[in-house]
Amino acid sequence: MRQKLVAGNWKMHGSLDENQALLNELRIALADMRNMACAVCVPSPYLAQTQSVLADSPIGWGAQNMSEYAKGAYTGEVSASMLLDFGCHYVIIGHSERRALYGETDQVVAAKFAAAIKAGLTPILCVGETLAEREADMAESVIARQLDAVLAVSGMAGMAQAVIAYEPVWAIGTGKTASPAQAQAVHAFIRQKLAVQDADIAERLVIQYGGSVKAANAAELFSQPDIDGGLIGGASLVADEFVAICKAAQS
């Protein structure tokens, strides 16, 4: 039985004051969550603050990106071991904004994924198609290509240590959610594709849905058999919304 995971992706939002209020609200409201896991992926400068507020809570935390390199002359980059210094458990890898805005190729994403696994972090690997790709009936082939790049480097042993987030690019931050049936179809495709290589690992793999999830649509999405929680952008910045989404994963 897979445990659902709801993770917030704060993106480049927040301030010390805003975070303090949000994290405190989450810590109190989610103190007694059961049968599910929840986490926030915050901007790296706020990892120390997040660690200090959430240290004794069941809420995990992580980062939104990391370098594929362990150390060196990589100005502006943050390594896996730096994330571990601040108690991170998760790191988002290959978010569509990183792929589109910062030129992260499938190969770079695969290298980052491997570096996260090597360090003992749990990568949340984002995959998903653009609107043009969906309209050209290419959603499955794009996702297969994104997964194959990671499998080529880390194999199913790597997948066993990871979480996948299916995030259709057309649904991110747009208010357009994939219908539960549309999302379920892609989640089932991902699980079946991986099951060809290792059925046990594929069955245990947590596959989140991400793309305009909110309190109002979370329960229906999470009730689909292959949707194991969500990666939540905008709604993770609003305490009541995020708490309600976490509770939808619990019920």
Over its C-alpha atoms, the chain yields an Rg (Å, rounded) of 17
Q: Which whole-number Å values give the CA distances from 198 to 2, 140, 152, 159, 202, in the listed order?
A: 16, 19, 14, 10, 6
Structure tokens at 174: 């747009």
Minimum separation from the CB atom of position 9 to ligand PEP (A): 4
Contact 209, 166 (CB under 8 A): yes
- Strands 60-63, 36-41: pairing kind: parallel
Minimum separation from the CB atom of position 242 to ligand PEP (A): 10
CB atoms within 10 A of CB 102: 10
Is 25 designated active site?
A: no
Burial of 105 by CB count in 10 Å (0-12 exposed, 13-18 middle, 19+ buried)?
exposed
CB atoms within 10 A of CB 34: 6
Is 187 designated active site?
A: no
Nearer to ligand PEP, 158 or 210 (CB): 210
Minimum separation from the CB atom of position 213 to ligand PEP (A): 6
Which residue's beta carbon is nearest to the bound ligand PEP? Answer: 233
Q: Is 243 helix (H, G, I), strand (E, B) or coil?
A: helix
Nearer to ligand PEP, 159 or 232 (CB): 232
Minimum separation from the CB atom of position 249 to ligand PEP (A): 15
Q: Which of 133, 167, 187, 241 is catalytic?
A: 167
Nearer to ligand PEP, 128 or 158 (CB): 128
Give residues in contact with ligand PEP (CB under 6 A).
9, 167, 172-173, 210-213, 231-235
Nearer to ligand PEP, 213 or 227 (CB): 213
Q: Which of 95, 97, 104, 187 is catalytic?
A: 95
Minimum separation from the CB atom of position 106 to ligand PEP (A): 18
Q: Is 91 helix (H, G, I), strand (E, B) or coil?
A: strand
Nearer to ligand PEP, 9 or 122 (CB): 9
Residues 52, 175: Cα–Cα separation, whole Å: 33
Q: Give the residue numbers annotated as catalytic, written as ranges.
A: 95, 167
